[in-house]
Chain A
Amino acid sequence: MSESGSRNIPFAGTNVVVNYDGPAAKSVVDFLYHDMPAPRSDDDEVVLAVASPEAEQFTMSRNGKELYSGQSSGMLANLLVGETIYNLADRSRGGLVFHAGAVSWDGAGVLLPGKTGAGKTTLTAWLVARGLNYLTDELIYIKTGANRFDAFTRPLNVKAAALPLLQDEFAIDPAEHGSLVCQQATLVPHRALNAQQHREQPLLRLVVFPEYVRDGYFRVERLSAAQTGLRLMGCLVNARNLDGHGFDEVARLSRSITAYSLQYSCFAQIETDLLEILNSELGVNE
């Protein structure tokens, strides 16, 4: 099998091409984009390149400009996936791109929108470990006028501060599951939590806005459509590319879904209430 080649990452109506050269670079690309479709695309594109010219030596560039040179496959993976996401979101124009985790159950989708540090990955991991289908812990796309969404599926990006919590809860051993580690985060294959993942574009049914507060109170609250719209606008990452900054579309979406805010500090707090919500909205039974 060739150790150099090219990988399309089409998402949200745009495309990033990742060129790789060398077995270690190919391995990182395969690890990150294993679950993403890779058809040829005529969409406008950005070209990223990763290479491993020698063992334990990596480089990365964007359109010819060097962004990384070093020895850490974990750092390369983090930079590559971050750069991919940035370029996809930055260039998407045909719909709403939200900073959100997402899972699905029987064709129905659950969004977990939030800014960095809100607990998206942690809550997504918890749901996936309970049998829901993993879609993403970072980015989703809803084409204008649609109620189904597409997800940017990548390994779970567990921040350093959250790793002990997940290790305690799910007995995840990063080394055992082939995770890639760097100082900022550990990329954990989601199949370590649930091997049954499948790709789909579910109907958006439920939105839960997580807020992780260390040592904080537990609070779950049903949101009105306007409260939902306000929060969704705060998680919309491509507003400047859209007509009216996507406000009308966010309002349309907010009227059609059920939404909750969820403040938590540990998994024990959410066990009962969140499962009850999932059961009543989606028919999820543990």
Chain B
Amino acid sequence: MNDRIPSQNSQYHLEEMDGEVLLYNPADTKTVYLNETSSLIWNLCDGDRTIETIATLLEECFPDSDSSITDDVVATLEDFANHGAIEFR
């Protein structure tokens, strides 16, 4: 499951604002707001990294995090996918 590779939907227009991101898809006029954590995950979706790789990178960045980073990453990516902002392969 965590060996899936998320890649960004290139149709989305992106604006970075103070660490947060706003995505807009002209095809369906959806706007998606990403807070700082979600923005970080979004930026790691380069089409090469697996979910597991992304989670590992974030665990290294936030070693003191109490919650399960992998679960949070999966939930965030599922949310992206539901908005059509990423695709898994």
State the A residues within 8 Å of B (CB).
224-227, 229-230, 233-234, 239-240, 244-245, 247-248, 251, 254-255
Contacts and interface: CB of A to CB of B under 8 A. Distances in A.
B70 to A, nearest CB: 25
B31 A229 contact: yes
Nearest to B32: A230
Nearest to B30: A233
A245 B34 contact: no
Contacts of B18: 224-226
Mostly, the A contact residues are: helix
A226 B22 contact: yes
A247 B20 contact: no
Interface string B21-46: 11010100101111100000000000
B61 interface: no
7 contacts: A225-B17, A225-B18, A226-B21, A226-B34, A229-B17, A229-B31, A251-B15
A248 B31 CA distance: 12
B13 A244 contact: yes
Contacts of B13: 244, 247-248
A234 B29 CA distance: 10
Given A226-B21, A251-B22, 11 more contacts: A225-B17, A225-B18, A226-B22, A226-B33, A229-B17, A230-B31, A247-B26, A247-B31, A254-B17, A254-B22, A255-B17
Contacts of B26: 244-245, 247
Nearest to A239: B29
B29 A224 contact: no
Interface residues of B, number: 15
Given A226-B15, A226-B34, A247 B24 contact: yes
Contacts of B21: 226
Contact of A229 (B15, B29, B35): B15
Nearest to B16: A226
Given A245-B26, A251-B22, A230 B33 contact: yes
Contact of A233 (B17, B31, B34, B35): B31
Nearest to B33: A230
Contacts of A244: 13, 24, 26
Contacts of B31: 229-230, 233-234, 247
A245 B15 contact: no
Nearest to A251: B15
A99 to B, nearest CB: 15
B17 A224 contact: yes
Contacts of A245: 24, 26, 29
Nearest to A246: B24
Contacts of B20: 224-227
A226 B17 contact: yes
A233 B22 CA distance: 10
Closest 7 CB pairs of A and B: A226-B20, A225-B17, A251-B15, A230-B33, A247-B24, A233-B31, A226-B17
Nearest to A224: B20
